[in-house]
Structure 1
Amino acid sequence: MFNLRGKKAIITGGAQGLGFSMVEAFHQAGVEVAVIDISDNVESLAAKFNEKAAKVHGVKGNLLDMDSLQQSFQEALEKLEGKVDILINSAGLIKREPAFDVSLETWHRILGLNVTAVFELSRLAAAEMKKQGSGKIINMGSIVSVLGGYNAVAYSTSKGAILQLTKSLSNEWAAYGIQVNAIAPGYMLTTMNTDLMNDPVRAPQVEARIPAKRWGTPEDVAGVALFLAAPASDYVTGTLIPVDGGVLGR
């Protein structure tokens, strides 16, 4: 039920943070992975891994540019020899500032990467998955897919959209054997949250809000991603799974 050996995955934003942890986890599980990232480091990513488990390929691409996105997807698909079983949309942007201060440029960039790119990549992957009658699409939501955000209006809006996108795509594609789900990380120990962790006012408030009494780790998210990618979750679709130490249960 949990055997993923021999499967092929595309993971965006996999050069750092939660994405990198999922690349590590899927590599260890025997999945061949193509990583799409804007970082210059992505092309040398494979050197970090032991190919005895499975190959890891790096593809540099700008997901805010539709031409680059489509070219990156095709390159990743070619590296995986024309097959994709799993797509993980992990790339994302956040900028913390009051709503009055958010520029429209910032708004469009965050919505463009966090929502539009996810939609287009999901369609591209699903077209390939439909041919084989199976596939797993895993989106990165957030606890602010459900809760209201604070000083992060564009990010919160984008993650609310991800929840509805996940539900809508699951309704359309379940009949093709494609499961579409989302993960809702809580407060995670990643560079995206460095400013929050270092905030002398907000950090104690955050820690007091988490029933588990600790921040989450990228490994916490990777474990749920493995479940959603495995045959064990073949009848799970259209859902948002919190990985938040109990925050949404309060």
Structure 2
Amino acid sequence: MSSLFSLEGVTALITGGSRGIGQGMALELARAGANLILVQRDASNVDTKTKAEALGRKVDIVIADLGVANEAYKVMEQVDKLGVEVRILLNCAGMTLRRKAEEFDDESWDKVIQVDLTSCFQLAREAGKRMLSYEIDPVIGCRGKIINIGSIMSFQGGLLTAAYASAKGGIAQLTKNMANEWASRHVHVNCIAPGYYYTDLTASLLESERGKKIMERIPAGRWGKPSEDIGGTAVFLASRASNYVDGAVIPVDGGWLAF
């Protein structure tokens, strides 16, 4: 069973891994044996790197601002220079801007779509090209794994989140499309759709009246914890245990969507 979920010696490229659920998933991949390449806007935050290295993993940081058009190509250029085969891509970078639909300006729309959808597509496409050229990896039993991070907004429209909901809906459909094209070629593409989690970014929401109403609606009766509640799903999708799972959008939301 341990070998079924092993990522020993496999390299994972991770965006959005410096904090929150991205960090939680990155560290669980490291605990399963993966070496990490972290995409960050700068090298000042070394928390994830330090914690993963303490687990005995090799960790590199590549610098890119995914909010800028075509920075995804710079990511892959830097990865190629490292001389390693990326077998896992975890597309976790994301942002949101809250506006009324009638006040959602083009600049704000473009900014969110660039980070949450366009850069994810570009990285998945470029990493996928490389994976398709690899031999099957003996640890994960395929050529590669791509894990996109959607949201409960992949299923729901939300409020004040026109760009975010559109991007996350797009991530779900992008996942299915790539899975359709690549599953038979041993590159498996899936999506995790998180619900509400305890992170630095949600701390103020948690304490608000809106946060209390959210808590009441979650069947599990609590918000998620970034590592233990979602990291296992990432390990599952990255490992050979999920090699017959393709195009799935898996909610990890404490039952929010089922309510």
TM range (shorter): over 0.9
Count residues in correspondence.
248
Amino acid in the other structure paired with 2:102: F
Q: Does 1:236 align with 2:245?
A: yes
Q: 1:196 to 1:101 in 2, by over 3 A?
A: farther
Confirm or deny: 8 A CA contact 1:139 1:162 kept in the other structure: yes
Confirm or deny: 8 A CA contact 1:45 1:57 kept in the other structure: no
Pick aligned residue for 1:151 from 136, 156, 160: 160
C-alpha separation between the residues in 2 aligned to 1:18 and 1:44?
Answer: 14
- 1:78 corresponds to: 81
| Cα distance per residue 1:93-113 (max 9 Å; x no partner) | 112232223221111010111
- 1:216 corresponds to: 224
- 2:140 corresponds to: none
- 2:95 corresponds to: 93
C-alpha separation between the residues in 2 aligned to 1:64 and 1:22?
Answer: 22
- 1:111 corresponds to: 113
Pick aligned residue for 1:2 from 2, 5, 8: 5
Q: 1:66 to 1:91 in 2, by over 3 A?
A: same
Q: TM-score, normalised by structure 2?
A: 0.90
Q: 1:51 to 1:76 in 2, by over 3 A?
A: farther
Amino acid in the other structure paired with 1:228: L
- 2:235 corresponds to: 226
Confirm or deny: 8 A CA contact 1:12 1:91 kept in the other structure: yes
- 1:27 corresponds to: 30
Q: Does 1:198 align with 2:225?
A: no
Identity %: 38
Pick aligned residue for 1:55 from 58, 67, 78: 58
C-alpha separation between the residues in 1 aligned to 2:50 and 2:247?
Answer: 35
C-alpha separation between the residues in 1 aligned to 2:102 and 2:207?
Answer: 23
C-alpha separation between the residues in 2 aligned to 1:66 and 1:104?
Answer: 15
Return the structure number with greater relative CO, CA threshold 8 A, min gap 6.
2
C-alpha separation between the residues in 2 aligned to 1:52 and 1:197?
Answer: 31
Confirm or deny: 8 A CA contact 1:36 1:76 kept in the other structure: no
Confirm or deny: 8 A CA contact 1:27 1:55 kept in the other structure: no
Q: What stretches of structure 1 of length at least 5 have no aligned partner?
A: none
- 2:39 corresponds to: 36
- 1:182 corresponds to: 191
Deviation for aligned residue 1:238: 0.2
Confirm or deny: 8 A CA contact 2:68 2:114 kept in the other structure: no
| Cα distance per residue 1:201-248 (max 9 Å; x no partner) | x11210111000000111111110000000000000101011000011
C-alpha separation between the residues in 1 aligned to 2:154 and 2:47?
Answer: 33
- 1:102 corresponds to: 104
C-alpha separation between the residues in 1 aligned to 2:15 and 2:58?
Answer: 16
Deviation for aligned residue 1:51: 5.4
C-alpha separation between the residues in 1 aligned to 2:78 and 2:54?
Answer: 20
Q: What secondary structure is seen at the aligned counterpart in 1 of 2:13? A: strand
Pick aligned residue for 1:127 from 126, 129, 142: 129
| Cα distance per residue 1:176-215 (max 9 Å; x no partner) | 1011000010011123323422322x11210111000000
Confirm or deny: 8 A CA contact 1:35 1:42 kept in the other structure: no
Amino acid in the other structure paired with 1:96: R
Amino acid in the other structure paired with 1:118: C
C-alpha separation between the residues in 2 aligned to 1:18 and 1:143?
Answer: 14
Q: 1:83 to 1:51 in 2, by over 3 A?
A: farther
| Cα distance per residue 1:148-181 (max 9 Å; x no partner) | 2111111111111111000011011112101100
C-alpha separation between the residues in 1 aligned to 2:48 and 2:176?
Answer: 33
Q: 1:108 to 1:24 in 2, by over 3 A?
A: same
Q: What stretches of structure 2 of length at least 5 have no aligned partner?
A: 137-142
Q: What secondary structure is seen at the aligned counterpart in 2 of 1:50? A: helix
Amino acid in the other structure paired with 2:100: P
- 2:139 corresponds to: none
